[in-house]
Chains A and B, each alone.
Chain A
């Protein structure tokens, strides 16, 4: 029984942390908002050089072949630096889907190496999602039609962008025609793949929210340590301290839930869906609290466009509703906990 990360895992996370701090300063995020695609193509190339797009692509296809446990570390860094959705959707969710295709499938052989190199963007339209993130800039779309899995070239679809309050989000309506030539798997064969795609999407959303919480805390601690009222930094007042301490408690107890969910995914635990839902709810709750408390301790500044808090706040809000909303995840937990043969109580956690 060991709940710690390896030195390599910790080092990789730290390396990505410094990389994003350098390559994606907050001004760059705001600048990206002004661009047509909402994010800069040069950044994608540099991220690819770091190997991030190939993180879970098997080594045979030019990737690093790492697991969901590595992703749980990485998604927190993506969240901390407010990276847009296409990175995780392509490199984690789509790669996971392609990897899960029957062995030797041509689609995997064609796309996995391209993704690993950093050239390709893949958008995933899960059956539970009406709008598809970043569909307008995708080279390939993995879409559902009556539960089937389809693969469609970006050039073969029409997309209608829905402006979001989070300017790095690109939720698109996708218009396309399903046919025998686009169908990859029938509904029965696709069902387990869709289920795990949702699990990966939800886990990645939870991980990113955790990263956003850590960033919101850092931003809020820095602000309240500088801003003075009544001749003192406002962070020395207990009411202000307690807001942020409460966020820290929530975050501290969502982390292990998140990490366990990743481990359950990596090991193919039959109960992984419940663990992922638990993680999504725990991180989502903490995310809402971090956002609300962050605004409160920023005072009037918290309600402005200028303050960087807004970047992370908005991403935490939208990701909480993405990849299965709260109702979905609560019901999944309920189905487990309230079932007649549920294993509950002392000593049942890892069984």
Chain B
């Protein structure tokens, strides 16, 4: 155990820091769930990629930088520390990207990954259906093979940013007689194909952050199959593993939220201390964000040393989602009656983006596999309890 950065890692940090300092937009971008905001975010991702920072863990020939996971964490720390924007293409780079790396053909990797890193292609995840949320094996949308095409019919829902996306990845029933997790295939498809209709759905903040996707005889070439026909469930489980495991939520994000929470508390301390539990909640936020960071470094060290991540990755998802709720609850309590105000309200003072973060934190225990489902996985696969 050596909890110090090597000189190379320190140098890497300085390099990221310098680039971010010179390039991170001075003014915060608009919300990426608005038309203008999405354009701004896409431009930022393209710039990031030009600097060589699109996806640092990918190999150089695929548009990355060949970084290991410790370097990735350092990158993320500098990214968040510099106040850089949220990654609009996170479903692509953090979920599909690693899945393609593992299951994609060389041709598929070359075709999709570099464009993903620059956000030339923006990706949506099309798994959930009206009748298949937590129970993903209940998927009914069909992709029936006809010659060198699949013909897709059915409906997906809750698909994040499908409204702006160019491509979607999803699992579809390629064997019409199959049941549950058999006979499913993982397919990549452009969202501008004839027969596709996208209906945006407004979220709690009023913006259309996700959408329904309807498929009506949509023809997709078979070369867009990822993995084997009928083997989609295993590929999807790998993606789900990335979603719950390390990639989707790097710790720096929570550390920055904890830091801002401490500031918010100190700035409003006199009021806040009228409720003595607030100080404790602020300290807990810092301690838990720190614990999440330590845990991620610990897992990353193990992986860098050749270990494989096990079912304990489900603990991650529960921890970050509950931490996010706890931190935002605390901020709302500190802000008290001001918490309801939108940032542009004349009397908003220092409400900042806390309200928006609070609303979004409510979804964290639902998406990426609800926390109830994660607890089932932990009990059965990590603790070995009976089914």
Contacts and interface: CB of A to CB of B under 8 A. Distances in A.
A249 B376 contact: no
Interface string B352-387: 000000000000000000001011101110111111
A305 B221 CA distance: 67
A262 B192 CA distance: 56
Interface residues of A, number: 50
Contacts of B297: 1, 3, 256, 349
B287 A282 contact: yes
A347 B302 contact: no
B345 interface: no
A235 interface: yes
A252 interface: yes
Interface string A216-238: 01000100110000001101101
B382 A248 contact: yes
A217 B46 CA distance: 49
Contact of B318 (A249, A344, A345): A249
B378 A330 contact: no
A259 interface: yes
Interface string B301-315: 110010000001001
A349 B294 contact: yes
A5 B297 CA distance: 13
From A1, A337, A342, residue with most partner B Cβ within 10 Å: A1
Nearest to A275: B290
Interface of B is mostly: helix
Interface residues of B, number: 60
B138 interface: no
B298 A259 contact: yes
Interface stretch (A125-133, A148-156, A176-184, A239-247): A239-247
Contacts of A188: none
B283 A333 contact: yes
Interface in B84-140: none
A244 to B, nearest CB: 6
A182 to B, nearest CB: 39
B243 to A, nearest CB: 17
From B1, B279, B386, residue with most partner A Cβ within 10 Å: B1
B3 A1 contact: yes
B146 interface: no
B291 A282 contact: yes
A223 to B, nearest CB: 11
22 contacts: A1-B4, A2-B2, A3-B297, A4-B305, A224-B385, A224-B386, A240-B385, A242-B375, A244-B383, A246-B375, A248-B382, A248-B383, A252-B312, A254-B291, A256-B295, A256-B297, A282-B291, A330-B280, A344-B255, A346-B81, A346-B256, A349-B297
Given A4-B305, A245-B374, A245-B375, 9 more contacts: A236-B386, A253-B291, A256-B297, A267-B3, A334-B279, A342-B262, A344-B259, A345-B258, A345-B259
Interface of B: 1-6, 9, 13, 70, 74, 76-78, 80-81, 252-253, 255-256, 258-259, 262, 265-266, 279-280, 282-283, 286-288, 290-295, 297-298, 300-302, 305, 312, 315, 318-319, 372, 374-376, 378-380, 382-387
